[in-house]
Amino acid sequence: MAHRAWYAARDAVSVSQLHTHTLYVHGHSPAHRLPSHVKVAALLVFLLGVVSTPREAFWAFGAHAAVLAVAARTAQLTAPFMVRRMLVEVPFVLFAAFLPFLGPDPRIEVLGISLSQEGLWGAWSILARATLGTGAAVLLAATTEVPDILTGLSRLRVPAVLVAIAGFMVRYLDVLADELGRMRTAAAVRGFRQRGRGALRALASVAGSLFIRAYERGERIHAAMVVRGYRGVMPQPFASPAVAADWSRGLALPLVGVTVAVLAVLL
């Protein structure tokens, strides 16, 4: 009953307002409903499978891609969407494109260009693993809101301090960005232009005062925590445990990936 009222209230406000980060895609798919720590564990298991697959086993990478495609399908995410989000990996894998040219001998001729055999293998290996890894991460981010990912991490026994630091970072990134924005405006209205050596000095002092402001805010936040009874341990107010069925549903696909990796090593 309470749940129904809650959903009604939730649908009354616009969906974009509700969601805590831009990577999340609103939905009610089985992948969305899975407890977050199961999803985080699934991501980890899948990645372990991908990185331990020998690079010569092309078929195994095909199988990993198929696993990812099934998972994306379950999450009701489309191929164009996935590809668009995965473009984020481009800057990181760019250097892989140089490996065939710079790698050691022996070399082979492809269309009249001499390429390093080892470099080609290296490039393929980086590209394939990074693409699969990015795809899986995009899937997690699209089906899980940031607060849930944080809860998931702490349920997986990631040290509370680390989870708290990650949480504070997410929470205060916008606040700090706003502060930086105001400082830049204040500099601009007094004729500041981002050029020359003077600009560098001004930017350094902006960075310095941003640090001091962040530090002072940290002190105020700590005081606000202490007055509400904080004694060094972050409470986990509403943790609901995952049932066995959640685990088997969530880990089914990643375990296929691990099986593929094991087979690829043995064959």
Partner 1 sequence: MSVVEVEGLRYEYPGGEAALDDVSFSIEEGERVALLGPNGAGKTTLVLSLLGVLMPAAGTVRVLGETMDEEHAFDLRRHLGLVFQDPNDQLFMPTVRDDVAFGPANYGVSGEELEAAVDRALARVSATHLAKRAPHHLSGGERRRVAIAGVLAMDPAALIMDEPSSGLDPAGMREITDLLLDLPQTLVLVTHHLDLAERLCDRALVLDSGRLVHDGPLVDVLSNGAFLIEHRLA
User: Cβ of 170: how many Cβ atoms within 10 Å?
Assistant: 15
- Asked if residues 77 and 156 have their Cβ atoms less than 8 Å apart, the reply is no
- Is 165 a binding residue for partner 1 by CB under 8 A? The answer is no
Q: Which of 111, 174, 196, 241 binds partner 1 (CB under 8 A)?
A: 174
Residue 95 CA to residue 110 CA, distance in Å, equals 20
Cα-only R_g, the chain = 24
Q: Which of 44, 51, 199, 226 binds partner 1 (CB under 8 A)?
A: 226
Segment contacting partner 1 by CB under 8 A, of 103-111, 113-121, 144-152, 193-201:
144-152
- Asked if residues 42 and 158 have their Cβ atoms less than 8 Å apart, the reply is no
Torsion of CA 193, 196, 198, 201, to 10 degrees: 100
Taking the complex as a whole, the smallest distance from the CB of residue 211 to partner 1 amounts, in Å, to 17
Q: Which residues pair with 115 in a beta bridge?
A: 108
Q: Which of 217, 247, 251, 259 binds partner 1 (CB under 8 A)?
A: 217
- Helix, strand, coil percent content, the chain, rounded in steps of 5: 75, 5, 25
Nearer to partner 1, 63 or 163 (CB): 163
- Asked if residues 32 and 235 have their Cβ atoms less than 8 Å apart, the reply is no
- Is 170 a binding residue for partner 1 by CB under 8 A? The answer is yes
Segment contacting partner 1 by CB under 8 A, of 3-11, 27-35, 100-108, 206-214:
3-11
Q: Which residues pair with 107 in a beta bridge?
A: 116
- Is 162 a binding residue for partner 1 by CB under 8 A? The answer is no
- Is 227 a binding residue for partner 1 by CB under 8 A? The answer is yes
Whole-angstrom CA distances from 118 to 6, 51, 57, 125, 247 are 58, 18, 15, 11, 40
Nearer to partner 1, 63 or 146 (CB): 146
Q: Which of 58, 59, 98, 230 binds partner 1 (CB under 8 A)?
A: 230
User: Cβ of 173: how many Cβ atoms within 10 Å?
Assistant: 11
- Is 168 a binding residue for partner 1 by CB under 8 A? The answer is yes
- Is 175 a binding residue for partner 1 by CB under 8 A? The answer is yes
- Is 212 a binding residue for partner 1 by CB under 8 A? The answer is no
Given the rule CB under 8 A, which residues bind partner 1? 6, 9-10, 12-13, 17-18, 20, 146-147, 150, 167-168, 170-172, 174-175, 217, 220-221, 223-231, 235-238
